[in-house]
Chains A and B, each alone.
Chain A
Amino acid sequence: MAEKPKVAFFDFACCEGCQLTVIDTLQDHLELVEAVEIVQFREAMSEKGEDYQIAFIEGSCTRPQDEERLKKIRERAALVVALGACAHTGGINALKNLQPSLQEVRRYVYGDCWEWYDTYPARPISAVIEVDAFIPGCPIDRGEFLRVVKDLLLGKKPSIPDYPLCVECKLKENVCIFDRGGTCLGPITRAGCGAICPTYGDGCEGCRGPIPHPNENAMKDVLAEHGLTAEQLMAKMTMFNAYYH
């Protein structure tokens, strides 16, 4: 039998919720733990192997020193996977990019000692290094993580849905959030989470990023029908996609 592929997990600016979701997923799928050799997962283990083929990276690039670390990981890994919204789109970290000045942001949070805290606009890791695959979402979806890992182990390019969330929401027979008086980014957001937020009564917040070719006219019709504007929708979209704003 061929040697097990060596896998490592890394984190940059993030909440580590995606790695926790990985831990939660693995506990139900121990066969996956058997299929690979995890050489580095700081949150869960002391070992720190530097020999790995697949690198999962959670978090955004927010400092000059992050670039250096990202490039090192890229050099060592055959495959780099962006794990979750922060790595994939910049995620919630990019909200700070919308503030008028980052110097003011640093002063606001750290007062007199603001200069000690280095930062620049948050970016997805693909802005710094080449990324082979991504697992979207805040946090990632457990089922999708399993599918992507299995695809990678089989040498296939992982397939991530490029149709809108509404498809999954309809299949779940949810009452449309717009019809319930809410605002939802489902019509333009990438599916794959099982429309979990609308299922629990909340409008989609776009954490999985926009689909490649959104049907803008249909979206405008929905907005017009419910007395909403494109500006309102775009303001909501900035929660997880401010990097592209």
Chain B
Amino acid sequence: MSKNISINVHHITRVEGHGDIVVDVKNGEIVKCEWHVVEAPRFFEAMLRGRPYYEASHITSRICGICATGHATASLRATERALGVEVSEQTELLRKLVFHGEIIDSHVLHVYMLVAPDFFGVGSVLPLAASHPEVVKRALRIKKLAGDLCAMVSGRHTHPIAMTVGGFTHLPTEGELKAMRERLVDARADMDETIALLSTLPWPDFERETEYVSLQKDDEYAFIDGRIVTSDGFTYDLDDYRRVTNEYCVPQSTAKWTKHNRESYMVGALARFNNNYDWLHPRAQDAAEKLGMKPLVTNPFLNTAAQAVEMVHCVEDSIRIIDELLARGIKEEPLYEFQGKGGEGVGSCDVPRGILFHNYIIDDDGLIQGANCIIPTNQNHANLQHDMEALLPQILDKPQEEIRLTLEMLVRAYDPCISCSTHLLNVRFK
């Protein structure tokens, strides 16, 4: 085959942030196949230095408009572990609840508005409003529910207000919780329809096993705290996160890359699904069965399907959490006061796009002296690059447009959040 292909997607669309795909094939030989991150770096770790500890969660939620709650939660856990702050069960429950809201919000945005247009052959969700109004209306209903759930707990989804070190500065009323519970129960129908829709989509046929990294807990599907586990059998305490991430710089990216046991690893919904399937709510396991998924799933395109499974789980677990909160009754609790003693702490959450680490050093004046944040999308860049290298030779005989679309779809499947990782997608075929 003597084929020349030049693909250069500059600033790929329907992703959060700026990234490029560059492919160059000469006489049927792949000369270049690269994933570039071209986001303007923002230097959050440096911004935090010298700021008081209680500002950290508000500053770092601004890393990302989509996973603002996830950043705030990881930030608060890092601060709390640095300062030795214990949080109440009520705070833990409310944090899990608002976190579920964010997972649903982010996943529904990705599944319906960023990925679905590819399968319907359109450029955005807008034409779908005319051709498939029921699909778009359902997406908007779920999105609104998720946003309202977040707002009920923390004031707004982007950027949360009431979440603070040691607890909450505002609490939802029992009336609000009850009304939200009803809406969550009603959302089951939309979840069923979502799974039914996804089970009809022709996912590209591609398998590449990699190492899957996520949080894990003994008693629940882990999103906040726990230990770090990998599908290659490694387990680490949160404090040892650097032994997993091993960050390094690559010239094609404004984001740092990571690797662990293999040349790359994957984080996100698919990694959590593979590692923590046993803790999914039975309804979510049913949903997975309908999608033909059971660990180990090694097709990265199915990350989107795993997100849908997690949406089902989060709706069910939110109902459970609200029941528990209502049974306990909502109580005003005293807020944490600084004790004049600093320290170092690591906080970790498995946010919509995967495992996230915040690590702070706080001095005895309560000022942040050092900070490190490792964002999920960055941990996926190397894996995405290796997937791309494995996928391209399998589709080289297709027309250039189809190659471009398939590569874009691969990038979108990772749901990269490049503004976090600093920004993402353009395919440049050179």
Contact = CB atoms under 8 A, between A and B. Distances in A.
B11 A200 contact: no
Nearest to B158: A17
Contact of B158 (A21, A62, A199): A21
Contacts of B41: 109-110, 117, 119
Contacts, number: 158
Dominant secondary structure of chain B at its interface with chain A: loop
Interface residues of B, number: 57
A74 interface: no
A66 interface: yes
A205 B46 contact: no
A245 to B, nearest CB: 13
B21 interface: no
A166 B64 CA distance: 29
B65 A47 contact: no
Contact of B46 (A14, A41, A108): A108
B36 interface: no
A28 to B, nearest CB: 8
B50 A98 contact: yes
Nearest to B11: A42
B55 A239 contact: yes
Interface in A8-55: 11-21, 23-24, 27-28, 30, 33, 38, 41-48
A197 B40 contact: no
Interface string B244-284: 00000101001010000000000000000000000000000
B46 A20 contact: no
A201 B62 contact: no
B428 interface: no
A27 B143 contact: yes
Interface string A57-82: 00100110010000000000000000
Contacts of B124: 41, 44-47
A201 B156 CA distance: 13
Interface stretch (A88-96, A153-161, A215-223): A88-96
A113 interface: yes
Contacts of A15: 62-65, 68, 158, 419-420
A12 B40 contact: yes
Contact of B254 (A92, A105, A117): A117
A139 B14 contact: no
A200 B161 contact: yes
Nearest to A193: B156
B312 interface: no
Interface string B334-377: 00000000000000000000000000000000000000000000
Contacts of B164: 202
Contact of B66 (A20, A92, A197): A20
B16 A43 contact: yes
B155 A196 contact: yes
Interface string B281-322: 000000000000000000000000000000000000000000
B160 to A, nearest CB: 9
A33 B124 CA distance: 13
Contacts of A108: 43, 45-46, 49
B292 to A, nearest CB: 29
B126 A200 contact: no
B158 A99 contact: no
Nearest to B154: A200
B47 A96 contact: yes
A200 B40 contact: no
B40 A196 contact: no
Contacts of A41: 124
Given A117-B254, A138-B159, A201 B14 contact: no
A15 B164 CA distance: 21
Contacts of A13: 40, 42
Contacts of A104: 46
A17 B170 contact: no
Interface residues of A, number: 59
B169 A42 contact: no
Given A66-B40, A96-B46, A38 B126 contact: yes
B143 A24 contact: yes
B117 interface: yes
A197 B11 contact: no
B430 to A, nearest CB: 19
Interface in A87-136: 91-93, 95-96, 98-99, 104-106, 108-113, 116-117, 119
B369 to A, nearest CB: 11
B13 interface: yes
Nearest to B118: A46
B70 interface: no
A27 B144 contact: yes
B123 interface: yes
B59 interface: yes
Contacts of B47: 92, 95-96, 99
Contacts of A110: 41, 249, 256
Nearest to B55: A239
A105 B371 CA distance: 12
23 contacts: A13-B42, A15-B68, A16-B17, A17-B62, A20-B66, A23-B113, A27-B140, A42-B11, A43-B13, A44-B14, A45-B14, A45-B117, A45-B126, A46-B117, A46-B123, A46-B124, A99-B47, A99-B49, A108-B45, A109-B46, A119-B41, A197-B155, A201-B168
Interface of B: 11, 13-17, 40-47, 49-51, 55, 58-59, 62-66, 68, 109, 113-114, 117, 123-126, 129, 140, 143-144, 147, 154-156, 158-159, 161-162, 164, 168-170, 249, 251, 254, 256, 419-420, 423
Given A41-B124, A202-B162, 17 more contacts: A15-B63, A15-B64, A16-B16, A17-B64, A27-B140, A43-B13, A47-B123, A92-B59, A95-B47, A96-B46, A108-B43, A109-B46, A197-B155, A199-B170, A200-B161, A201-B161, A201-B162
Interface of A: 11-21, 23-24, 27-28, 30, 33, 38, 41-48, 59, 62-63, 66, 91-93, 95-96, 98-99, 104-106, 108-113, 116-117, 119, 138-139, 196-197, 199-202, 205, 239
